[in-house]
């Protein structure tokens, strides 16, 4: 998740439904689709010190991408990148400032001032089985990059990003696995993990201009970000909140199905605008982020690491997210509520 300056935020004055009480999770007694042992194995790999904090353009990020691609292959997703599961994202480092940018954003005539760095999104799909709806798609995504190696705190200089957003990356994989284990979805489902979020949504921006399915066929986007710890304002373990809940009918769909997903209780943080979902929302796709980030103080610190993760909570919430994606893949498409589209 990115930090944005308060001054840059446009508040749209969306109403909250904080006082509404939703039915208990009616799916709670259903068989759990997501396995805690697998969640632990995957997050242990992605948040390991050997991944060096997964900074865009580094060997640690490349190693993480290979790990995600291997998992996608084992799950049985169809590769949807331009080289297997990898979608190359042309990122360069500006000489001088060191800033990472998309090459296409370099000012004309400034060529030569940019050092290319390796960067890929990792993307796989499940083809929809419905003869009509199969041409439309649902996008499930998270960013796998993080902050790399930086200023040491208490002797630790690796910013592991276990919660931000290793947890969401694992969720994308495990939602895919749960879906593969069930009936073929009616719509095509795209499972995307992006690079470069922390440095300006680079992977997502590239994907938006080079989508693996035309954007006008993507009917919904669910992003998963920071679900590694419970949030008491969401109701505690196993529960999460959806950014921009009232902006579209997606949140209401989840609530009606009894999923443990409530409106974002911290609208002043403007989380709807702070992650990859916003790039898709601005293109008209109902797009929200599922999270349970309770503003913990390990945010963007080396201490965002595995030992702080509540795996029982995380597994339960991924299970809920898998049910949510099933609704999006098989049910009616969500649409914007009046005034909700950014
Ligand atoms: Zn972040």
Q: For residue 340, is it within any domain?
A: no
Q: For residue 21, is it within any domain?
A: no
Q: How far is the CA of 88 from the centre of ligand 1 (A)?
A: 22
Q: How far is the CA of 2 from the centre of ligand 1 (A)?
A: 5
Percent of the chain exceeding pLDDT 70 equals 90
User: HEC string of 51-95?
Assistant: HHHHECCCHHHHHHHHHHHHHHHHHCCEECCCECCEEECCEEEEC
Is 234 a residue whose pLDDT tops 80?
Answer: yes
User: HEC string of 250-300?
Assistant: HHHHHHHCCCCEEECCCHHHCHHHCCCHHHHHCCCCCEEEEECCCCCCCCC
Confidence of residue 56 (pLDDT cuts 50, 70, 90): very high
Q: How far is the CA of 299 from the centre of ligand 1 (A)?
A: 7
Q: How far is the CA of 236 from the centre of ligand 1 (A)?
A: 22
Mean pLDDT score, 308-320: 98
Q: How far is the CA of 204 from the centre of ligand 1 (A)?
A: 14
Nearest CA to 342 out of 290, 265, 283 is that of 283
Q: For residue 7, is it within any domain?
A: no
Q: How far is the CA of 252 from the centre of ligand 1 (A)?
A: 28
The rounded mean pLDDT for the chain is 91
Helices (H), 115-248: 168-181, 202-209
Q: How far is the CA of 266 from the centre of ligand 1 (A)?
A: 17
Q: How far is the CA of 1 from the centre of ligand 1 (A)?
A: 3
Q: How far is the CA of 82 from the centre of ligand 1 (A)?
A: 27
Q: How far is the CA of 181 from the centre of ligand 1 (A)?
A: 31
Q: For residue 33, is it within any domain?
A: no
Domain span including residue 283:
40-330
Q: For residue 89, is it within any domain?
A: yes
Q: How far is the CA of 213 from the centre of ligand 1 (A)?
A: 27
Q: How far is the CA of 271 from the centre of ligand 1 (A)?
A: 12
Q: How far is the CA of 165 from the centre of ligand 1 (A)?
A: 7
Q: How far is the CA of 28 from the centre of ligand 1 (A)?
A: 31
* pLDDT at res. 23: 35
Q: For residue 5, is it within any domain?
A: no
Q: For residue range 121-140, what is the model confidence (pLDDT) as tens digits?
A: 999 999 999 999 999 999 99
* pLDDT at res. 109: 66
Total tally of structural domains belonging to the chain? 1
What is the domain-level CATH number for residue 251?
3.40.630.10
Q: For residue 30, is it within any domain?
A: no
Which pTM does this prediction carry? 0.91
Q: How far is the CA of 300 from the centre of ligand 1 (A)?
A: 6
Is 305 a residue whose pLDDT tops 80?
Answer: yes
Q: For residue 8, is it within any domain?
A: no
């Amino acid at each position: 998740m990115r930090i944005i300056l308060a001054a840059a935020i446009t508040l749209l004055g969306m109403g909250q439904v904080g006082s509404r009480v939703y039915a208990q999770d009616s799916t709670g007694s259903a068989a759990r689709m997501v396995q805690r042992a697998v969640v632990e194995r995957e997050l242990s790999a992605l948040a390991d010190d050997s991944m060096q904090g997964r900074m865009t353009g580094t060997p640690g990020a490349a190693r993480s991408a290979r790990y995600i691609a291997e998992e996608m292959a084992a799950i049985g997703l169809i590769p949807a990148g331009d080289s297997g599961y990898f979608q190359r994202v042309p990122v360069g480092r500006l000489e001088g400032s060191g800033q990472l940018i998309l090459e296409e954003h370099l000012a004309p005539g400034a060529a030569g001032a940019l050092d290319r760095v390796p960067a890929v999104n990792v993307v796989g799909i499940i083809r929809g089985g419905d003869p009509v709806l199969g041409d439309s798609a649902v996008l499930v995504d998270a960013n796998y990059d993080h902050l790399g190696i930086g200023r040491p705190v208490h002797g630790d200089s690796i910013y592991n990003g276990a919660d931000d957003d290793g947890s969401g990356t694992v969720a994308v994989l495990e939602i895919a696995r749960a879906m593969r284990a069930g009936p073929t979805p009616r719509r095509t489902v795209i499972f995307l993990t992006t690079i470069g979020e922390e440095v300006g949504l680079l992977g997502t921006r590239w994907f938006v201009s080079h989508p693996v399915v035309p954007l006008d066929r993507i009917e919904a986007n669910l992003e998963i970000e920071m679900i590694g710890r419970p949030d008491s304002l969401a109701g505690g373990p196993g529960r999460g909140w959806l950014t921009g809940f009232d902006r579209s009918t997606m949140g209401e769909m989840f609530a009606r199905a009894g999923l443990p997903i409530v409106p974002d209780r911290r609208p002043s943080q403007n989380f709807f605008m702070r992650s990859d979902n916003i790039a898709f929302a601005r293109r008209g796709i109902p797009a929200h982020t599922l999270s349970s980030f309770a503003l913990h103080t390990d945010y963007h610190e080396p201490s965002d690491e595995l030992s702080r993760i509540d795996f029982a909570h995380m597994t339960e919430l991924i299970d809920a997210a898998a049910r949510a994606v099933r609704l999006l893949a098989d049910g009616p498409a969500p649409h914007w509520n009046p005034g909700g589209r950014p």
